[in-house]
Amino acid sequence: MSLSAGELEKGLKKKERGSELPPEESDWPEDVVTFDSKTDPSNPKNWSLRRKGMATMLFGMTTMCSTFASSVFSPAVGYVSAEYGTSSEVAILGISLFIAGYIPGPVIWAPVSEIYGRRISVVLPMTIFICLTAGTATAENLQTIMITRFFAGVMASAPVTTVGGGLADMFDQKERGTAVVFYSLAVVAGPTLGPVIGGAVSESYLGWRWTMYLTVILTSAVILADLFFLKETFAPALLTSKARRLRIRTGRWALHSRQEEQEFTLQMFLQKNLVRPLEMIAFEPMVTLITVYNSFAYGILYLLFAAVPIIYEEHRGWSTLVGSLPFLATLLGTILAAGINILYSQRYFAPYIEAHGSAPPERRLPPMMLGSITFPIGFFLLGWTSDPSIHWLPSIIGLVFIGMSFLLIFQAGINYLIDAYTKYSASAVAANTFMRSIFAAALPLVAQPLFNNLGVQWACTLLGCIAALLAAVPFAFYAMGERLRGMSRMAVTPD
């Protein structure tokens, strides 16, 4: 059987175009481009574990640079106040304004990531962040420091806002718990290592400005790795790119992705990322209480940046470098929490899904329940063993408990909101991000008057009592969450 000249020419043209040609027209209903099959390797859900791990690591490192920058400034507060002749309360605005920059993050970067994808919505703002941080390092007055710190925070909020969506792009419900553990650990490592490294740099001959130069160098290296190795994870953005390539290669200009059918307006994004999150905080009890609890735990992490120097440098007379070492206890606590979360996910949560097909959101809460018990214990231990006449070890153990509790509460809270509000999870997480950024920006400003007026013992007792009151939240939702979801307009309803 021989081929005609026309058939041969047609076959050669098809070969030249490559393998990424659409099937017969009947296989593309309404000319909508999709993945080739359920097992299409270009779908991030079907990536190999190695490729998913690489993306998770790069997402985590990029976010770590953001959170590292938020705290590395804390040991520089005293040096900045001395150099510019201002009070430490004013200088600490360098931390609070940076975190305040996180507040508009969901409104700005969530829409960008849903139109253009996760990769560009992380790499581009973090590149601008590098330039702004270099501006802080070379600032000649206090105003420049504050302005560049605020806008650097706005840019640094991009990975904090969008990376959670990137993980959801790759991992299903069963896998996501373990992935989020490793990501959360990288995120928490930033603010806990920042004061230690910042203290060493500030106290050395390099001076406080090198805390910013070091941030520039570290972030530049990570962004360079992102440019070479981080692949896009957002399926609609991938399909839009695929449709664009197919239109050019085939001349079939009707081919398009589902995303290209949608009209993106400012009103729509404000509704999803600002109006609806505020509505959920106001009218969804689960969002309200989980967000308040998460925000308190997150804010405590930043309150410690001002409280730890008071406890160990002012009261015990430790140097800036040695006085920053207790932050390593907080990091140790988060590592222990990560181990607990992985153990729970692999031993209890994943087997439950295998046995029942899915898990109710309340199955995410046991780690938070444990953290809610150890959280007030950590405060009481830190406060009532902080006197210089008592050995430093018990107070350090208190910081371990606080760090462990923070991650147990924070991660379980985010997972619970995602599972309880699947359709509206982006808005629920945006509400959480918005509120916790307010807490994190405000609590460092409260720390000095709180600890100086009440004393370390009673300040920690007050915080411990608040933590004890909030401890009821996970237990209440574990018992009544199913009933509350049944009453909600937005939550996943029980079967």
Per residue in 78-113, pLDDT tens? 889 888 888 887 888 898 899 999 988 878 888 888
Q: Verify that 346 and 203 share a domain, yes or no.
A: no
Tell me: do 467 and 360 sit in the same domain: yes
How far apart are alpha carbons 31 and 18 in whole angstroms? Answer: 20
User: DSSP class of residue 256?
Assistant: B
Residues 6+ apart with CB under 8 A from 440: 99, 102, 295, 298, 299, 301, 302
- Helix locations, 360-492, DSSP H: 366-384, 393-420, 425-470, 472-487
- Which residues form the domain of 407? 265-484
The rounded distance, in Å, linking the Cα atoms of 468 and 71 is 27
d(CA 315, CA 334): 26
398 and 438 assigned to the same domain: yes
pLDDT per residue as tens, the chain (495 positions): 444 445 444 444 444 444 455 544 445 566 777 787 888 888 999 999 899 989 999 999 999 999 999 989 988 888 898 888 888 878 888 988 999 999 888 788 888 888 888 999 999 999 999 999 999 999 989 999 999 999 999 999 999 888 878 888 898 767 776 777 777 777 788 888 888 899 899 888 888 999 999 999 999 999 999 999 999 998 888 888 888 888 888 888 888 778 777 777 777 777 777 788 888 899 999 999 999 999 999 999 989 988 998 999 888 888 878 888 899 999 999 999 989 998 998 888 888 888 888 889 999 999 999 999 999 999 999 999 998 999 999 999 999 999 999 999 998 998 899 888 877 777 788 888 889 889 998 998 898 899 989 999 999 999 999 999 999 999 999 999 889 888 888 887 766
Q: Please tell me whether residues 289 and 209 are part of one structural domain.
A: no
Phi, psi of 34 (to 5 degrees): -130, 180
If asked whether residues 337 and 291 sit together in one domain, one would say yes
What is the C-alpha separation between 369 and 367, in angstroms, rounded? 5
33 part of a folded domain? no
Q: In the chain, how many H helices and how many E strands?
A: 21, 0
Count of domains observed in the chain: 2
Q: Is residue 338 part of a domain?
A: yes
Same domain, 401 and 294: yes
465/383 Cα distance (integer angstroms): 12
What DSSP character marks residue 358? S
Half-sphere exposure of 159 (CA within 13 A, CB side): 32
Q: Does residue 122 belong to any structural domain of this protein? A: yes
Question: Are 274 and 405 found together in one domain?
Answer: yes
Domain contains 12: no
* Judgement on whether residues 381 and 439 belong to the same structural domain of the protein: yes
Q: Tell me whether residue 494 is in a domain.
A: no
In a domain, 314, yes or no: yes
pLDDT at position 150 is 95
In a shared domain, residues 132 and 172 = yes
| One domain, residues 296 and 212 | no
- The verdict on 227 and 331 lying in the same domain is no
Is 184 among the domain residues?
no
Residue 131 is part of a domain; what is its CATH number?
1.20.1250.20
Dihedrals phi, psi of 318, to nearest 5 degrees: -75, 155
* Residues 62 and 164 reside in one and the same domain: yes
Sole residue written with tokens 């999870």: 425
**Is 341 domain-assigned?**
yes
What span, in angstroms and rounded, lies between the C-alpha atoms of 212 and 80? 13
